[in-house]
Structure 1
Amino acid sequence: MGQFNEAAEAFRQALRLDENAPDTQYSYGLTLNKLGRHDEEILAYKRAIGLKPDHANALEKLGQAYFRQKRWAEAANAFEGLRTYRPDAKTYNALGECYLELDRPEDALLAFNNALGYDPNLDQARFNLGRAYLRSGNKEMAQVQYEILRNSRSDWADRLLVLLNQ
């Protein structure tokens, strides 16, 4: 942890010289994450985004930080913003997970289908799509997702099978 404390101090020094440097704010947030200082981490990412609204990496890390804190709506907002700058499978999968936690299965279905549209081999998104189908009461479509995962020999297949059998 010593090196991360030193890094945090170095970033604080750099920010005293120029607090309007979005990449420094972002890097400071990464360091704060390593130190377990998550509320400060969030503030650093928010400052980076405030300085550079299209800072995709800061938006992603902000969403992840909110997600870890179970602040689902704020995480969803961050990932919704990220869609504008980085519309990819990973972004849509994260957004869908937020929607599931917010008990918005229809929005989750759309997000996971978008994720699979970008990367049909993203097994985690397929697993999550199965979860969303189960949450919306469509066990038959969840079973289809399980079969796809099983046929691709994915580790996610067993996880979905457990949910299907509950």
Structure 2
Amino acid sequence: MTVSSFEVEKSHIVPRLKQRQYAEALRMLEEAHPRDRAQRLEQLEMQAMCYFRTGQFEQAAECYRQLAEEDPESARPLINLGAVYNRLHRYPEAIESLRKAIQRDRCNVDAYYNLGFAQRHSGHPDLAISAYKEALRLRPNMEQGHLNLGNAYLEVKNTVMATNHYKAALEIDPELEPAKRGLVRAAEQELKNRESKSPFGRLVDPAKLTRQRSESAAKSLSEGEREKDRQEVQQLAKSVRNAARQASEELREKMQPALMAMTRALVQGEDRPDHIEATHDKFHTELPRFNEAMRTLRYAMLELRGHEEIMNTPDIDV
């Protein structure tokens, strides 16, 4: 069997690639003579790699575009094209390319990982979270996946989930410095959150209660009135707990699955617009009950706060 001229040329090109002599390999590839489609695809693949390794990202993107057109069944050219677009900070084009790649291969870790990167850097950390979670579902022991998912959670100020994924990354690679720095940032953000926001305001703020006591005399209560106050507070607190439990259940059992389904439909692309519409409708079907549960919770908290205000108001002698 006669060896083709391209195979002979390739035997000289591959050693250059192994030795990282990419400029020389590119020169030889441009002069190569592929005789059929398979060899042409192989030539394009090697050219794209050389362009990428030498920082010529526009040329690499053009090679991957040609590969995607000439090999419509393969997801790899579109994934690589998305990665190149990420390097060029052309995130909308990266998202489009990677969604098309997922349409070709819905179980490709690299497609979801690169999609998460593009979505996060295009200002959509919520969608990035969904993409990174899908990548980690397919490959749980990916430390960079946990790291970047932690970063995305931190951007939406979910310090608990961010901390969990930074720790997961460090369990895989204990020397991963970005994950260590992420844990520090998450702890700092959690401290700021606690300092800036207390869910019950003055009701659980010891400093404010101390000032109140020093600025005004405490309301005088008889033993019977104190017992009645305790019972009222217990009943109001029970209402708050029940309302919070209901809101939590609506969020966990209805809203979160509906939101995840909708974001997954968006991540997987536009090949099924009916699926996107259906998940969108499902989300908005669940929304009124969640909003009602939150209104009930706010009302219960206001009732408890109102009772506290009344009890902290001193008696006025007339």
TM-score by length of 2: 0.46
* 3-state secondary structure, aligned to 2:140: coil
Corresponding residue for 2:31?
13
**Match for 2:48: what amino acid?**
G
Give the paired residue count.
166
Using the TM superposition, give the Cα deviation of residue 149 of structure 1 relative to its aligned residue in structure 2, in angstroms: 3.5
Check 1:15–1:60 CA distance in 2 against 1; reply closer, same or farther (3 A cut): farther
- Residue 92 (structure 2) aligned to one of 67, 73, 83: 73
Using the TM superposition, give the Cα deviation of residue 23 of structure 1 relative to its aligned residue in structure 2, in angstroms: 2.6
- Which protein has the larger Cα radius of gyration, Structure 1 or Structure 2? 2
Asked whether the 8 Å contact 2:144–2:169 carries over to 1, the reply is no
Unaligned runs of 5+ in 1: none
Using the TM superposition, give the Cα deviation of residue 12 of structure 1 relative to its aligned residue in structure 2, in angstroms: 2.1
Using the TM superposition, give the Cα deviation of residue 86 of structure 1 relative to its aligned residue in structure 2, in angstroms: 6.1
Mean Cα deviation higher: 42-51 or 6-15: 6-15
Q: Residue deviations 1:25-54, cap 9 Å, x none?
A: 222111222333221111111111111123
**Match for 2:71: what amino acid?**
K
Unaligned runs of 5+ in 2: 1-15, 190-318
2:163 is the alignment partner of 1:148: no
- Residue 54 (structure 1) aligned to one of 73, 77, 82: 73
Identity over aligned pairs, percent: 27
Check 1:46–1:138 CA distance in 2 against 1; reply closer, same or farther (3 A cut): same
Corresponding residue for 1:64?
83
**Match for 1:157: what amino acid?**
A
Q: Residue deviations 1:91-146, cap 9 Å, x none?
A: 21211111100111221111111111111111111111111112222222212223
Where do residues 10-159 of structure 1 align in structure 2 (5 Å cutoff)? 10-14=28-32, 21-83=40-102, 84-85=104-105, 87-152=107-172, 154=174, 155=176, 156-159=178-181
Whole-angstrom CA distance in 1 between matches of 2:166 and 2:55 = 36
**Match for 1:9: what amino acid?**
R
